[in-house]
Amino acid sequence: MTVTAEHIRRARQGYFANISYVDDKIGEVLAALEASRQEAVIVFLFDHGEMLGRKGLWFKMNFFEGAARVPLMIAAPGLVPHLEQTAVSTIDVTATLCDLAGISLDEIAPWTDGESLLALARGQARTSPVVMEYAAEGSISPMVALRQGAWKYIRCAADPDMLFDLATDPDEEQNLASDPRAAEILAHFQLMADERWDLAAYDDEVRQSQARRWVVYEALRNGSYYPWDYQPLRAASERYMRNHMDLNVLEESRRFPRGE
């Protein structure tokens, strides 16, 4: 099948319609919070973007801006609303929520990477790079990337290195990895990548994991098969009103805010 410009236009139209729908529903949630006068921390983010035909690519499965760039909005008491241009990661959200709650991340999840965004939200500079990894469908071997400032570096053992200056090339059309003028910057990112990753070992770990999970998959297909798809199973007594409870008590228990 040949993907035409009209196909791309209609796909993008549908995608943007979905965004408009989500936007409306978020508005309803925020209106309900406002009406209830409940103090809350609100976080809105996606796990990935969508290429939508850019560079001939669809879905995610790469580190170009269309796939890697996502919205991240945080509203919380004490935070002054503003637009932050510094690149961060969704992996920072857990640390940020712990910071907002006054909980030590080291005590509950010391294995978690990421850093709190509160310092950045309050005007302090951030220089640490954003780290990205991908080793799932659509990749021949593990892909990794680093974003620091306006620069993005992408490495995969099966492909040449890529280096982009997003300040002057937001569409990532010019790979500067072979440009002598960017040699020093490339060396900086290559050193950071060397210190962080052993791609050969990474690839081996992924393939071992795939082999183990394939054995489990085949075993679970024998006998009574229960799919892993989300399927809520609820008792009827939890879904329907029964005559053992006074109607006023039932309605009060379902009201928000709860009746006093």
Q: What's the predicted TM-score (pTM) here?
A: 0.79
Domain contains 196: yes
Domain contains 141: yes
Domain contains 156: yes
pLDDT confidence bin for 231, thresholds 50/70/90: confident
**How many CA atoms within 13 Å lie on the side-chain side of 141?**
14
Tokens 């919380």 — which residue? 76
Query: Both tokens of residue 46?
Result: 């996606």
Domain contains 90: no
What tens digit of pLDDT does each residue of 25-75 get?
A: 999 999 999 999 888 899 999 999 999 989 988 889 999 999 999 999 999
Q: Which residue has the higher pLDDT, 218 or 245?
A: 218
Domain contains 139: yes
What tens digit of pLDDT does each residue of 65-121 get?
A: 999 999 999 999 888 898 999 999 999 999 999 999 999 988 888 888 889 999 999
- The total domain count for the chain is 1
Which is nearest to 56 in space by CA: 70, 72, 67?
67
Domain contains 96: no
Please say whether the beta carbons of 49 and 66 come within 8 A.
yes
Domain contains 124: no
What tens digit of pLDDT does each residue of 200-216 get?
A: 999 999 999 999 999 98
Query: Both tokens of residue 198?
Result: 């052993």
Q: Is the peptide bond before 257 cis (omega within 30 degrees of 0)?
A: yes
Please say whether the beta carbons of 65 and 76 come within 8 A.
no
Domain contains 22: no
Structural domain boundaries enclosing 202? 129-223
**How many CA atoms within 13 Å lie on the side-chain side of 221?**
6
> The CATH number of the domain where 200 resides is what?
3.30.1120.10
